[in-house]
C-alpha cells in the first residue's frame, strides 16, 4: 500500500535538493509504487555516516510503500567517479572491490527490509564487467555529447588539474546502470547526493532516448555542519558504520558533541523522530540543547547498531560525564613515566589488573578505554603525546576509572 506524502516529507525534513519534473514525480510517488535506486561504489571496507543520509532516505521511501534497489558498484568502482574530486581515484584490485562490496551488502541488510518484493540488491559488476567495448560505444556512446559532458561540473572542475579518458567514461557506465535497472525492474527513479546530478540526468536521458520512457532524477543535499564541513568526519577520519572501525560509543560521542546549531537539522535527517519533536529539541539556546544532542546520539546509534548498543553507549557516556565533572575526586595514580610505557604494564602497575595476562585479555575483548578511545591492541604504547593534558583517563569496563599522572 502506498502512503502519500513522501516528497513533501523529504522536503520538510531538509533532504531535498532538486528533481527533474518535480510536480510530475510528486504525483507519481503519491499514486503508484515506484521502484527507485541508489548506487554505492565500494571504495572502502565500510559505509560511512555520510552514506547514512542516503540510507535514511531509502528507508523512508520504503516505509511509504516504494521499492528500493541498493546497487553495489562492483563495476563502476573499477574506474571511480570523478565527481567532487580534484584528482584521480586510486585504482583498486578486483578482489578488493568484491570484498568491500560484500561488506556493504551485509550493512545494507541491517537498514532495509529485503523481504519478498520489498527491496532489491544488485551489483553492477554483473553487467558492466561483461560489456563489449565496441558494441557498447556503437549502441550507447552515440547518445552522449562530449560538449555537454565537458560543461558538467563533475568534469569541468577537473579539466585544469587533468582528467583521464579512463574517468571520462564513468558517466556512461552509471547512465547504463539506470537503463539496465529500468529494463529489469521498471526502475524509473534514481536518487543520490547533490554531486551526482549530472550522472543521474545522463541515465534519465539515456532511458528516454533508447526506451522512449519517462524516468526521474532526485538529489539530496550533502549533510554539512554549521561550519560548512562535510558531516561524518572526525579528528581520526571518517565515522564508519562498521563498529569494528568506529565503536557505538565513539559514534555516540561524535553525535553528542556536535555544534548547537546543527541539532535540529541532524535530528530531522538522521532520526525517525516526529518533525515537531525535532524542531522542539533543536530550538533551545541554553543548556537544554544538550537534551537534544543526547537524544540525537542515542537515536543514531540505535538505528545503526541496535537498541542494546545505544543504551550501553548512553550509560557509558553518562558515567564518564559524571566522572569528568568530579575529576579531582577520581582515583589517581602517579607513575614513573620515562617517555613510553606499554598499556599492559600500566594496567598492572595501577592495579586495574592483577597480571599482564589478565590485562591482555581485557584489552583484546574491548574492555579498556584510554581518554574515551577503546584500545584493542595489547601492544599499545603510551608516549608523551598521550599526556599532553597532564594526565590520562583509563577506564576498565563501564564504571572503573583511573586518573594517571606522571611523577
The tens digit of pLDDT for each residue in 88-107 reads 567 789 999 999 999 999 99
Residue 277 sits in the same domain as residue 392: no
Number of other CB atoms surrounding residue 384 within 10 Å: 10
Give the pLDDT mean for 32-58: 95
The single residue listed with the C-alpha cell 526506451 is 211
Q: How many angstroms separate the CA atoms of 90 and 77, rounded?
A: 10
The residue out of 169, 190, 220 marking a domain boundary is: 220
The single residue listed with the C-alpha cell 569494528 is 244
More confident position, 86 or 7:
7
End-to-end CA distance of the chain: 69
Mean of pLDDT over the chain: 89
In the chain, the percentage of residues whose pLDDT exceeds 70 is 91
Based on the structure, what is the number of domains in the chain? Answer: 3
**Which conformational region is residue 5 in: left (phi greater than 0), alpha (psi within -120 to 50 degrees), or beta?**
left
DSSP 285: -
Residue 273 sits in the same domain as residue 347: no
Q: What global pTM score does this model have?
A: 0.79
Q: Does pLDDT of 235 surpass 60?
A: no
> Is residue 1 in a domain?
no
Q: Does pLDDT of 191 surpass 90?
A: yes
Number of other CB atoms surrounding residue 29 within 10 Å: 25
Number of other CB atoms surrounding residue 374 within 10 Å: 15
Helices (H), 257-394: 263-270, 275-282, 289-305, 307-325, 343-349, 356-364
Going by C-beta distance under 8 Å and a sequence separation of 6 or more, which residues neighbour residue 131? 176
Q: How many angstroms separate the CA atoms of 340 and 14, rounded?
A: 49
Residue 170 sits in the same domain as residue 252: no
Q: What CATH code is carried by the domain that includes residue 388?
A: 3.10.290.10
Residue 253 sits in the same domain as residue 211: no
Determine the Cα angle at 342 with ends 340 and 347, to 5°: 125
Domain region containing 137: 6-220
Please list, residue by residue across 88-118, b when 16 or more beta carbons sit within 10 angstroms of its beta carbon and e when fewer do. beeebeeeebeebbebbeebbeebbeeeeee
> Is residue 173 in a domain?
yes
The answer to whether the CB of 31 falls within 8 A of the CB of 64 is no
> Is residue 321 in a domain?
yes
Q: How many angstroms separate the CA atoms of 207 and 363, rounded?
A: 55
186, three cell numbers: 521498471
> Is residue 172 in a domain?
yes
Would you state the pLDDT for residue 327?
63
The answer to whether the CB of 283 falls within 8 A of the CB of 234 is no
Burial (CB count <10 Å: 0-12, 13-18, 19+), residue 121: middle
Length of the chain: 407
**How many whole angstroms from its chain centre is CA 398?**
27
Q: How many angstroms separate the CA atoms of 381 and 297, rounded?
A: 31
Q: How many angstroms separate the CA atoms of 71 and 68, rounded?
A: 9
Q: How many angstroms separate the CA atoms of 214 and 370, rounded?
A: 56
Q: Which of 192, 248, 241, 164 is nearest to 54 (CA)?
A: 192
More confident position, 163 or 200:
200
In the chain, the percentage of residues whose pLDDT exceeds 90 is 62
Residue 319 sits in the same domain as residue 349: no
More confident position, 82 or 311:
311
The residue out of 307, 325, 343 marking a domain boundary is: 325
Residue 298 sits in the same domain as residue 264: yes
> Is residue 65 in a domain?
yes
Q: Does pLDDT of 350 surpass 90?
A: no
Amino acid at each position: 500500500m502506498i502512503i502519500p506524502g513522501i516528497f513533501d516529507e523529504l522536503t520538510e525534513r531538509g533532504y531535498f535538493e532538486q528533481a527533474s519534473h518535480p510536480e510530475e514525480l510528486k504525483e507519481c510517488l503519491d499514486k503508484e509504487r515506484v521502484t527507485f535506486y541508489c548506487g554505492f561504489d565500494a571504495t572502502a571496507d565500510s559505509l560511512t555516516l555520510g552514506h547514512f543520509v542516503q540510507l535514511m532516505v531509502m528507508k523512508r521511501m520504503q516505509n511509504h510503500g516504494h521499492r528500493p534497489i541498493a546497487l553495489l558498484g562492483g563495476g563502476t568502482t573499477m574506474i571511480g567517479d570523478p565527481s567532487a574530486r580534484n584528482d584521480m581515484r586510486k585504482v583498486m584490485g578486483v578482489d578488493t572491490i568484491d570484498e568491500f562490496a560484500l561488506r556493504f551488502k551485509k550493512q545494507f541488510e541491517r537498514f532495509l527490509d529485503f523481504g519478498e518484493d520489498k527491496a532489491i540488491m544488485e551489483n553492477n559488476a554483473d553487467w558492466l564487467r561483461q560489456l563489449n567495448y565496441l558494441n557498447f560505444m556503437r549502441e550507447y556512446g552515440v547518445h552522449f555529447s562530449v560538449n555537454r559532458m565537458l560543461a558538467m561540473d563533475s568534469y569541468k572542475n577537473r579539466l585544469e588539474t587533468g582528467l583521464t579518458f579512463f574517468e571520462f567514461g564513468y558517466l556512461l557506465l552509471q547512465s547504463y546502470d539506470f537503463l539496465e535497472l529500468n529494463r529489469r525492474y521498471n526502475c524509473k527513479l534514481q536518487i543520490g547526493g547533490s554531486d551526482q546530478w549530472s550522472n543521474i540526468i545522463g541515465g534519465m536521458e539515456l532511458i528516454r532516448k533508447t526506451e522512449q520512457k519517462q524516468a526521474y532524477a532526485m538529489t539530496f543535499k550533502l549533510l554539512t555542519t554549521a561550519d560548512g564541513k562535510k558531516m561524518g568526519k572526525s579528528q581520526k577520519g571518517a565515522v564508519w558504520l562498521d563498529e569494528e572501525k568506529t565503536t557505538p560509543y565513539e559514534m555516540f560521542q561524535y553525535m553528542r558533541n556536535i555544534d548547537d546549531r546543527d541539532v535540529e537539522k541532524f535530528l530531522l535527517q538522521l532520526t525517525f523522530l516526529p518533525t515537531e519533536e525535532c524542531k522542539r529539541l533543536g530550538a533551545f539556546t541554553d543548556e537544554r540543547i544538550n537534551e537534544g544532542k543526547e537524544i540525537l546520539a542515542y537515536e543514531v546509534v540505535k538505528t545503526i547498531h541496535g537498541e542494546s548498543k545505544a543504551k550501553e553507549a548512553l550509560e557509558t557516556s553518562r558515567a564518564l560525564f559524571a566522572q569528568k565533572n568530579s575529576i579531582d575526586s577520581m582515583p589517581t595514580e602517579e607513575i614513573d613515566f620515562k617517555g613510553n610505557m606499554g598499556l599492559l604494564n600500566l594496567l598492572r602497575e595501577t592495579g586495574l589488573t592483577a597480571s599482564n595476562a589478565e590485562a591482555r585479555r581485557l584489552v583484546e575483548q574491548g574492555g579498556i578505554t584510554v581518554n574515551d578511545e577503546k584500545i584493542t591492541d595489547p601492544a599499545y604504547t603510551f608516549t608523551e603525546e598521550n599526556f599532553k593534558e597532564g594526565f590520562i583517563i583509563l577506564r576498565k569496563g563501564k564504571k572503573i576509572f583511573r586518573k594517571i599522572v606522571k611523577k
